[in-house]
Amino acid sequence: MSRHEQQGQMKSIRTRIFVVVGVVLLFLIGVLIGYFSRGDTSSNHRNTATWDRLTREPDIQIRDKLKDNIDVENLRQQLREFTKSSRLAGTPRQKETAEYVSNLWKEYGLESEVVTYNVLLSYPEQGENTTITVFYNDGSQHIIYAEEPPLGDDPGGFAVRPFNAYSPARKVQGKLVYANYARDSDFEKLVEQNIDVTGSIVIARYSKGFRGNKLKQAQDRGALGIILYSDPADYIGIPDPPVYPDTWWLPGPGVQRGNVVTVKGDQTTPGLPSTWYAHRLNDSQLRDSLPKIPCQPISYNDARILLSTLGGNVVPAEWKGALNTTYRFGPSQVRRITLDVRNVNELREIHNVIGRIPGSVEPDRQVLLGNHRDAWVYGAYDPTSGTTVLMELARIFGKLYREGWKPRRSIVFCSWDAEEYGLVGSYEWVEENLKKLTSQAVSYLNIDSAITGNYTLDVRTVPLLRNLIYDTAKVVPDPFQPTKTLFDTWLERNPETTEPTRPRVEKIGAGSDHSPFIAGAGVPATYPRMYGTGANYTSRGTPLYHTRYETFQAYTMVDPDFTVAKTMAAFVGELARSLGDSVIIPMDVEVYAKEVRDSVSHLSEIRSRFPTGAMWLDGLQSASKNFSKAAMEFHTSLKKIDRKNPILVRMMNDKIMSVERAFIYAEGLPDRPRYKHVLHSPSGMNYYGGSDFPGLEDLLYKIGTNTGRWDQVKQHISVLTYCIQTAASILQ
C-alpha cells in the first residue's frame, strides 16, 4: 500500500469512527433524556434493571435472618476468649488480639485491616511502687500499696496494678481533706466550711462525674494531689451483702483504674493523626497539657484507714458514704500523709481493626459500628460485653453477605485500641480520616460495655436517631419477657421524666469512642446499653467497673445464659441493617428541630439574667424557627418524592446526612477548640455528660458582671445562630 492509499484508508476509517461515535452519542443522549424525563409510563427507554437495582427496597426478611442467626454459644465463647488474659493497650497481647479479630473477620467474609498508630501511653513504673503513707502522731506509720489481689476465676498472668493513667509521677505530702465527689459544688461547700485545700491532699469518691474533672477541680484549687476511691454507698446497692466473687458487688480490695485526661486522643499530636510523619509536642508542651498534680485510686478498705484520720466537722448526709467510720471534712489529725505516685509515660504502638462489607448501591456511604478491644484488666463488662456482640454481628453480616445479601451502603466494623487511655485509637483514626468521614459517614453506633446489667435500656443518642431507636426497640423482644418488646420494658422501667409516654434517651455526651465521631466530625451517633438489676441499684455501670474483678464469672452473674447479649446483638444489628439498607436514611430531622427549639426556649426563659435586653437571642430564635420550618417542609417532601429516582433519593439522603455537620464549628467551643459540635459536645464540668449548649454552659458559669465574658457569650450565640440557620438552609 502506498502512503497515499494509506492516508485515504485512514480518512475513511476516521469518518466511519466519527459516524459510529456520533450514533452512539445520540443513542446515549436519548437514553439520558429518557432517564431523566421519565414519568410513570413504561414506554420510556431506560435500563430498567440498573434503575431498579439503584432504588430497590430492602429485603425485610434479612431482619429476621439477622435475629435468628445470633448464637448464644458464640457470644459465650468470644467472651471467654477475650477475658482469658488482660488486654492493656500497648502490650504484646493487644497486637495478638488485633490479629485474632482481623483474621476472624476475613474468615467471616469481611475486608479487614489492622491500623497501627504510635501514641503516648502511661503505666505504673516497673520495679517501683506507688504508695500512700500515713505517719501517725505516735511515730508509727501505715503504708498503702497499689495492689489488687486476684479473686474468683481470675485467669492469672499479667494484670496492671491500680493507677490513674497520665497522673504525673510525683511525691507530695500534707494534710488530708475530704471533698465528697470533688465536683465544683463540693469544693464550694469546703469553702463555706472555711477549709482551704491549697497545700492539702484531697481524698474524694468516684461516681457522679468523670474522674479527670475531679482532678482538674482539685488542681485548679491548689491541692497538692488527689486520692480517689469507690465508696460502698455508690458501688454496693444493698446493705452488707455478700460481695464478689459471690455476687457482682464491689469487694473491699477492688480498685477502679482509669485515665484522668480531659482532652482525648494521643496527647502528643492534638488534632492530627499519630502517623509516622506526625509532628509531636515536646516534653515541656506535654507537661503543660497533661494533669499537673498526682492522682491515685485506692480501694474502700484502704480509704477507710485514710478517712478515719480526718478531724473537723462531721459532714452532712449527702457527703456520707457507707463505710464504718465517721465522715468528716478534715483536715487529718496525723503528723502527715504522703502520696508518692510512680507512673511513666511512653510512646507505644496501638492497633485498631477495621472490617468492611462493601455497599452494593452506595459503597462510599458508610454505616460504622464499633467498640474498643483494650481493657484495664480482663474487662468482661467494659468493653468485652460489647466486643462479643460486635464479633457476632460481624459473623452474621459476613454470612448473609456471602449468601448473597448486599447492603445498600457499606457497613464498617471497628475494633478500637487504647480507648481506656482517652479514646486514643478512635480519635487517631477519625483524625486521619476526618475529611472522608465528613463526606461519607452516615452514622456511628458505639457498642462499648453493651451489657452492664440486665434490667433495661440506657440509650445515649443524637436526636436524629431517636425515632429509629424507638422503632428498632419495638421489633426486638425483651430478653426475659418474650411477649413484650424491648420498647415495652424500656418504657415501663425507664420513662422520660418530662414526657412519660416515651422511653428515656440521654444526651450523647462523651466518655467512649462515639465522641470523636459526633463532637469532632458531626457524624450522628448513638451509644445503647443494657443496665441495672432492678433491685436498689440505679447506677448505669457495673460495681466492678475497671477493677481486676471484671471477669468471665462476674459477667455470668448478670447474664448467665447470654440472653441479654443476644438481645443487644439483635437490637444493634437491626439498627445497622436499617441504616445500611434503607433507601431513605431513617433519621428524623423534625426531632432534631424540636430539640433545638426546646433548648432555645429554655434559654429564653433565663433571658432576664442577661444584660440589657439580650437582643442577640432574637437571632437564635429566628434561626430555630427557620430550622423547624425547613425540617417540617423537608419531612413533607420526603413523603412525596419518587423513590424510584436514584438521583432524587441520593439528594434527599445527602441532606439528611449533612444536617448534623451544620453544627460543627471549625474553631470549636470557646476555650475548648477540639470539641467542635456546638450542641453535642461533652459538658465542660463533667466530661461524661452533655448539656443543651455546652459552650454557653461553660461561659455562663459564675459569669456575674464579667463584661469580657458577656462579650464572649454574645459571640458564641452568634455562632449557634449561624449553625442552626445552616441546618435550615441545608434542608431547604
Ligand X SMILES: *[C@@H]1O[C@H](CO)[C@@H](O)[C@H](O)[C@H]1NC(C)=O
> Do the Cβ atoms of 549 and 483 come closer than 8 Å?
no
At closest approach, how far in Å is the CB of 546 from Zn ion?
9
At closest approach, how far in Å is the CB of 248 from ligand X?
4
At closest approach, how far in Å is the CB of 732 from ligand X?
9
At closest approach, how far in Å is the CB of 423 from Zn ion?
9
Q: 519: closest CA among 666, 682, 658?
A: 682
The option from ligand X, Zn ion, none interacting with 448 (CB < 5 to 8 A, set by class) reads: Zn ion
Contacting residue, 82, 117, 187, 248, with ligand X by CB under 6 A: 248
The option from ligand X, Zn ion, none interacting with 557 (CB < 5 to 8 A, set by class) reads: ligand X
Contacting residue, 145, 157, 158, 706, with ligand X by CB under 6 A: 145
CA 163 to chain centre: 22
Judging by beta carbons within 10 Å of its beta carbon (0-12, 13-18, 19+), is residue 546 exposed, middle or buried? buried
344 binds ligand X (CB under 6 A): no
The option from ligand X, Zn ion, none interacting with 41 (CB < 5 to 8 A, set by class) reads: none
Contacting residue, 557, 587, 617, 685, with ligand X by CB under 6 A: 557
- Helix/strand/coil for 44: coil
What is the torsional sign of CA 305, 307, 313, 316? negative
454 binds ligand X (CB under 6 A): yes
In the complex with Zn ion, the residue whose CB is nearer, 352 or 624, is 352
> Do the Cβ atoms of 377 and 547 come closer than 8 Å?
yes
Q: Tell me the C-alpha to C-alpha distance, in Å, between residue 421 and each of 117, 225, 257, 498.
A: 14, 20, 10, 36
In the complex with ligand X, the residue whose CB is nearer, 316 or 560, is 560
At closest approach, how far in Å is the CB of 600 from ligand X?
11
533 binds ligand X (CB under 6 A): yes
- Cα–Cα distance for residue pair 240/230, rounded to 1 Å: 15
539 binds ligand X (CB under 6 A): no
Q: 674: closest CA among 295, 215, 266?
A: 266
Contacting residue, 52, 64, 68, 128, with ligand X by CB under 6 A: 128
The option from Zn ion, ligand X, none interacting with 248 (CB < 5 to 8 A, set by class) reads: ligand X
Residue the block writes with cell 500534707: 174
Q: Tell me the C-alpha to C-alpha distance, in Å, between residue 70 and each of 44, 361, 395, 531.
A: 45, 26, 9, 21
621 binds ligand X (CB under 6 A): no
In the complex with ligand X, the residue whose CB is nearer, 37 or 324, is 324
In the complex with ligand X, the residue whose CB is nearer, 110 or 377, is 377
At closest approach, how far in Å is the CB of 63 from Zn ion?
28
456-461 vs 505-506, strand pairing mode:
parallel
Question: What value, to the nearest 5°, has the Cα angle with vertex 210 and ends 207 and 211?
Answer: 85
In the complex with ligand X, the residue whose CB is nearer, 620 or 652, is 620
In the complex with Zn ion, the residue whose CB is nearer, 349 or 419, is 419
274 binds ligand X (CB under 6 A): no
268 binds ligand X (CB under 6 A): no
At closest approach, how far in Å is the CB of 452 from ligand X?
10
At closest approach, how far in Å is the CB of 308 from ligand X?
8
Q: Which of these segments, 9-17, 127-135, 151-159, 176-184, binds ligand X (CB under 6 A)?
A: 127-135
Q: Which of these segments, 114-122, 133-141, 554-562, 677-685, binds ligand X (CB under 6 A)?
A: 554-562
At closest approach, how far in Å is the CB of 325 from ligand X?
7
Site for ligand X in 207-236 (CB under 6 A): none
In the complex with Zn ion, the residue whose CB is nearer, 159 or 679, is 159
- Cα–Cα distance for residue pair 35/149, rounded to 1 Å: 71
For residue 84, give the DSSP letter.
T
Q: Would you state the cell numbers that stand for residue 284, as one nine-digit string?
A: 515541656
Number of residues that bind ligand X (CB under 6 A): 25
- Cα–Cα distance for residue pair 195/552, rounded to 1 Å: 45
The option from Zn ion, ligand X, none interacting with 558 (CB < 5 to 8 A, set by class) reads: ligand X
**x/- track of binding to ligand X for residues 296-325 (CB under 6 A):** ----------------------------x-
In the complex with ligand X, the residue whose CB is nearer, 13 or 238, is 238
Q: Which of these segments, 67-75, 93-101, 125-133, 659-667, binds ligand X (CB under 6 A)?
A: 125-133
125 binds ligand X (CB under 6 A): no
The amino acid at 567: T
- Cα–Cα distance for residue pair 151/244, rounded to 1 Å: 8
Judging by beta carbons within 10 Å of its beta carbon (0-12, 13-18, 19+), is residue 707 exposed, middle or buried? exposed
Beta strands in 129-241 (DSSP E): 131-135, 141-145, 164-165, 170-174, 176-178, 201-205, 225-229
Q: Would you state the cell numbers that stand for residue 725, as one nine-digit string?
A: 440557620
Contacting residue, 49, 535, 615, 666, with ligand X by CB under 6 A: 535
At closest approach, how far in Å is the CB of 633 from ligand X?
12
147 binds ligand X (CB under 6 A): yes
Contacting residue, 13, 26, 238, 347, with ligand X by CB under 6 A: 238
The amino acid at 613: G
480 binds ligand X (CB under 6 A): yes
- Cα–Cα distance for residue pair 337/448, rounded to 1 Å: 38
In the complex with ligand X, the residue whose CB is nearer, 363 or 619, is 619
225-229 vs 295-298, strand pairing mode:
parallel
> Do the Cβ atoms of 632 and 590 come closer than 8 Å?
yes
Check residue 417 and give left, alpha or beta (phi > 0: left; psi -120 to 50: alpha): beta
Contacting residue, 194, 282, 497, 612, with ligand X by CB under 6 A: 282
What is the torsional sign of CA 519, 520, 525, 530? negative
At closest approach, how far in Å is the CB of 284 from ligand X?
4
Q: Which of these segments, 13-21, 279-287, 351-359, 399-407, binds ligand X (CB under 6 A)?
A: 279-287
In the complex with Zn ion, the residue whose CB is nearer, 159 or 293, is 159
429 binds ligand X (CB under 6 A): no
- Cα–Cα distance for residue pair 427/421, rounded to 1 Å: 11
Backbone angles phi, psi at 349, to 5 degrees: -85, 140
> Do the Cβ atoms of 389 and 450 come closer than 8 Å?
yes
725 binds ligand X (CB under 6 A): yes
Q: Would you state the cell numbers that stand for residue 520, as one nine-digit string?
A: 469532632
- Helix/strand/coil for 653: helix
At closest approach, how far in Å is the CB of 707 from ligand X?
25
Q: Which residues bind Zn ion (CB under 5 A)?
A: 382-383, 448
681 binds ligand X (CB under 6 A): no
Q: Which of these segments, 37-45, 156-164, 269-277, 616-624, binds ligand X (CB under 6 A)?
A: 616-624
At closest approach, how far in Å is the CB of 371 from Zn ion?
8
Q: 573: closest CA among 73, 107, 75?
A: 75
- Prior bond to 331 cis, omega within 30? yes
The amino acid at 105: W
Instruction: List, in order, residues 6 or more apart from 102 with CB less than 8 Å away.
Output: 112, 113, 114, 353, 355
Residues that bind ligand X (CB under 6 A): 127-129, 145, 147, 238, 248, 282, 284-285, 324, 454, 480, 533, 535-536, 557-558, 560, 619, 622-623, 626, 721, 725
